[in-house]
Amino acid sequence: MPPMQDGGARQPLRADARDNRRRLLEAARDMYIERGPGAPLEEIARRAGTGIATLYRRFPDRAVLIREVVLDALQRTADEARQAATAEPDPFAALAWYIHRAIDVRTAAVLPALLGEFPFDDEEISRARQAGRAAVQALVDAARQAGTLRPDVTSGDIGLLIVRLSRPLPGGFPADVQHRLGHRHLNLVIDGLRATARQPAELGGPALTLTDLRQFGQPETPAPDPHATVPGERADPRPDSERGDHRPDGKERVRG
């Protein structure tokens, strides 16, 4: 897909137009998570409480809507990280607050659903991604320097944790139940992130940074493999007999 360039400076919207745009973006985000990039535009407009004509006035076609959903999600994620850093004086509490808010924004759920549908080389999207990475890295660095975050936790761990807690559960869980379960399970995990965690287990697996994660999830990647450890990771070419088994202590046992 060719890069889509921003059409110049955005004109300020009236309050009612801003409200319509916000509701359309959130409805589209949720529909794409639930039904993929082919979600009907009429259903998106209905869920947003607007008419289809309003949707087309703001977003002339599906490609424009998808791009704006992605850009909005990335920008809101970066905003949440910056707000957490300024509003919460305790670095670990700021990091925890950000993770909770990232689950609410649902960036980590909608981007995997739209892989291949938006241009990674779009200049505005690239800037938003870079801003988000920098803001999250600053939160992780501050918590680590304060001695309250486990020293072996990386920014990539935080990013993948958000992905795992943001993805929809299989089965018939209502949306509000899934949302509350994500926050409940995050509260369980947060204690394990603390440097003072009781009997901390050794972490196994790769210690990925946010920069490392850029290598995964690109549009040309194949379908997820059952042996992949992060979204979009390529399959391990080794046969099953040569792959390591992951043990509860985080180490690997090689079959042989």
Burial class from Cβ neighbours inside 10 Å (0-12, 13-18, 19+) for residue 185 reads: middle
Would you kindly state where each structural domain of the chain is located, as residue ranges? 14-60, 63-196+207-220
**Average confidence (pLDDT) per 10 residues, the chain, 256 residues:** 45 78 96 95 96 95 96 95 96 95 92 89 92 95 94 90 84 77 83 73 66 59 38 40 40 38
CATH of domain 63-196+207-220: 1.10.357.10
The answer to whether the CB of 102 falls within 8 A of the CB of 109 is no
- Fold classified for 14-60: Arc Repressor Mutant, subunit A (1.10.10)
The span from the CA of 109 to the CA of 105, in Å, is 9
The answer to whether the CB of 48 falls within 8 A of the CB of 68 is no
The per-residue pLDDT for range 143-193, each reduced to its tens digit, is: 999 999 999 899 999 998 998 888 877 777 777 887 788 888 888 888 888
Give the per-residue pLDDT at 119.
84
Give phi and psi for 3, each to the nearest 5: -65, 145
Task: Copy the structure tokens of residue 52.
Answer: 């289809």
User: What is the torsion angle, in degrees rounded to the nearest 10, for the CA atoms of residue 182, residue 206, residue 78 and residue 54?
Assistant: -60
Which among 68, 54, 62 is positioned nearest to 26, based on CA atoms? 68
What's the pTM?
Answer: 0.71
